[in-house]
Amino acid sequence: MLDAAEQKLVDDVARHGWQVMRVSPATGEAQEPSFAYTIGLQETFGWPELLCYGLDADVMTVLLNNATDELRERSELPSAGLVLHEIAEGFDCKLSPVASRHNVEHLGFAIWFARYRGENPAKVECLQLLWPDRHGRFPDQSDCSPEVRELQPLLSS
């Protein structure tokens, strides 16, 4: 028997192809940046899930949905290093690898969804959507502003 949140996830993926899960630190926890990630891209398109850090939850939801739309329109498989041009007005975003060791702490519902579908949760893959500083530099570049780097912990290692 599924609880209400699990049923909504299953229904959203069936209806829309994916859902965005938003995660914020609980009151009293260390103030890590908030993040959001998709659930269902692997099931629907055979793509890795996408994860974004460090912005307002509503903004991250829009970016992840727009990234999915751009990838579908371009008929392009998401891959590390791919630059997306149409997801945010005025700046590009870039996909970066996520080491599988981060999956358990970051992709809880995506792992649950894989189990629910009878798949191996270790096969859940993810790419991080990076957004740039005001000069167009991404957190994986040494000259990116420290403030932007702090908001986007790189999950590639």
**Left, alpha or beta for 117 (phi > 0: left; psi -120 to 50: alpha)?**
alpha
50: enclosing H helix or E strand: strand 49-53
DSSP readout, 73-102?
HHT----TT-EESSSSTT--EEEEE--GGG
Residue 24 has a pLDDT of: 86
**Is the pLDDT score of 20 beyond 90?**
yes
Helix/strand/coil for 38: strand
Residue 25 has a pLDDT of: 73
pLDDT tens, residue by residue, 76-106: 899 999 999 999 988 999 999 999 999 988 9
